């Protein structure tokens, strides 16, 4: 909303500035007053049917005055100051208007006074006679104030031009080139890991797969039982018995076997 208010205030300021400039320039332009005169058209009585064509003749009179040929032959140096001739609505009058500087007002008035007789001569050659007459109904009139330059009109155009120029400036620069981007939330991305070539990587020691330890089974002592009957006996040459030699008993044999199993022997 604040940007919109700023745009409106700047646009109005630009329009007001341009209107002020246009007003100031208009004051420096040459001033023109409007000098006008009215011609009444009426039938001359010859022929009698001319009265029936009066409304058409009023339009023809305005056309004659507006023609280039008539202006070139009769207006002289004031041809560029001629504003036109028009029919006064619902009447037999033709209104003629000129723009004139203050110094040329009298010359333009004299020109307007001569126009009815000049139109009469032009129509006589055109109709091969004079079925209508043309006369001034009053002396030419001069506007109270100058009409050129039109200060109000020029100021209004200046204001509109200022608005348009500021709009073009705003679209070309403020809105596109110098527009600040809207603040957006920055998304923090995780840093990418640095890729290390395979040849530069340090050698990792080979991991040895460890097998789960198996608890050691304790060897239980073998209970001595009766000696088997088929216990092999190594056949050796009979030794000469010593005087203290005696045949081992069964108990001694079992004890010896047990000690042998326990690793005591």
93, 123, 142 — which closes off a domain? Answer: 142
Q: Count how many domains the chain has.
A: 2
Does any domain span residue 241?
Answer: no
142, 163, 195 — which closes off a domain? Answer: 142
Q: Is the dihedral of CA 195, 197, 198, 204 positive or negative?
A: negative
Does any domain span residue 156?
Answer: yes
Assess whether 49 and 116 both reside in one domain: yes
Assess whether 79 and 98 both reside in one domain: yes
pTM over 0.85: no
Does any domain span residue 202?
Answer: no
Contact 18, 157 (CB under 8 A): no
Assess whether 126 and 62 both reside in one domain: yes
123, 142, 161 — which closes off a domain? Answer: 142
Does any domain span residue 80?
Answer: yes
Assess whether 153 and 24 both reside in one domain: yes
Q: What is the pLDDT of residue 185?
A: 47
Assess whether 40 and 136 both reside in one domain: yes
Q: Is the dihedral of CA 177, 182, 183, 187 positive or negative?
A: negative
Assess whether 137 and 60 both reside in one domain: yes
CATH number at residue 54: 3.30.70
**Burial annotation 207-222 (CB, 10 A radius, 16+ → b, else e):** eeeeeeeeeeeeeeee
Does any domain span residue 70?
Answer: yes
Q: What is the pLDDT of residue 177?
A: 46
- The dihedral region occupied by 129, where left means phi > 0, alpha psi between -120 and 50, and beta the remainder, is left
Does any domain span residue 193?
Answer: no
State which residues form the domain around 7: 2-28+149-174
Question: Which token pair is 39?
Answer: 């011609």
Assess whether 24 and 153 both reside in one domain: yes
Alpha-helical (H) ranges within the chain are 2-28, 54-66, 68-74, 105-127, 151-169, 250-262
Query: How far is residue 111's CA from residue 78's CA, in Å, rounded to a whole number?
Result: 9
3-class DSSP state of 38: strand
Assess whether 8 and 64 both reside in one domain: no
| Half-sphere exposure in the Cβ direction for 58 (13 Å, CA) | 19
Does any domain span residue 235?
Answer: no
How distant, in Å, are the alpha carbons of 9, 19, 64, 176 from that of 156? 18, 7, 36, 29
Q: What is the pLDDT along the chain (265 residues), one digit of tens a residue?
A: 578 888 888 889 999 999 999 989 988 888 999 999 999 998 887 766 666 778 888 999 999 999 999 999 999 899 999 999 999 998 899 999 999 999 999 999 999 999 999 999 998 888 888 888 999 999 999 999 999 888 899 999 999 999 999 999 888 887 654 455 555 545 555 555 555 556 555 555 555 555 555 555 555 555 555 555 555 555 555 555 555 656 777 788 788 888 877 777 6
Assess whether 49 and 104 both reside in one domain: yes
Assess whether 9 and 86 both reside in one domain: no
3-class DSSP state of 197: coil
Assess whether 38 and 22 both reside in one domain: no
Does any domain span residue 181?
Answer: no
Query: How far is residue 65's CA from residue 149's CA, in Å, rounded to a whole number?
Result: 25
Contact 131, 28 (CB under 8 A): no
Assess whether 40 and 106 both reside in one domain: yes
């Amino acid at each position: 909303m604040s940007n919109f208010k700023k745009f409106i205030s700047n646009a109005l300021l630009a329009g007001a500035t341009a209107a002020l400039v246009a007003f100031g320039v208009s004051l420096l332009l040459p001033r023109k007053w409007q000098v006008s005169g009215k011609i009444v058209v009426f039938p001359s009585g010859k022929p009698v049917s001319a009265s029936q064509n009066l409304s058409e003749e009023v339009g023809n009179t305005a056309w004659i005055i507006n023609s280039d040929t008539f202006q070139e032959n009769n207006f002289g140096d004031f041809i560029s100051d001629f504003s036109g001739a028009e029919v006064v609505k619902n009447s037999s009058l033709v209104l003629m208007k000129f723009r004139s500087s203050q110094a040329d007002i009298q010359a333009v008035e004299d020109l307007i006074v001569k126009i009815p007789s000049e139109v009469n001569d032009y129509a006589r050659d055109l109709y091969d006679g004079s079925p209508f007459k043309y006369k001034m109904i009053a002396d030419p009139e001069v506007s109270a104030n100058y009409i050129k330059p039109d200060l109000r009109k020029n100021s209004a155009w200046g204001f509109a031009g200022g608005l348009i120029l500021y709009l073009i400036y705003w679209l070309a620069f403020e809105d596109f080139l110098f527009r600040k981007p809207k603040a957006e939330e920055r998304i923090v991305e995780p840093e990418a890991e640095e890729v290390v070539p395979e040849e530069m990587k340090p050698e990792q020691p080979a991991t040895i797969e460890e097998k789960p330890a198996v608890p050691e089974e304790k060897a239980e002592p073998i209970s001595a039982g009766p000696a088997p009957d088929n216990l092999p006996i190594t056949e050796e040459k009979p030794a000469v018995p010593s005087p203290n030699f005696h045949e081992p008993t069964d108990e001694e044999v079992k004890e010896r076997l047990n000690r042998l199993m326990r690793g005591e022997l």
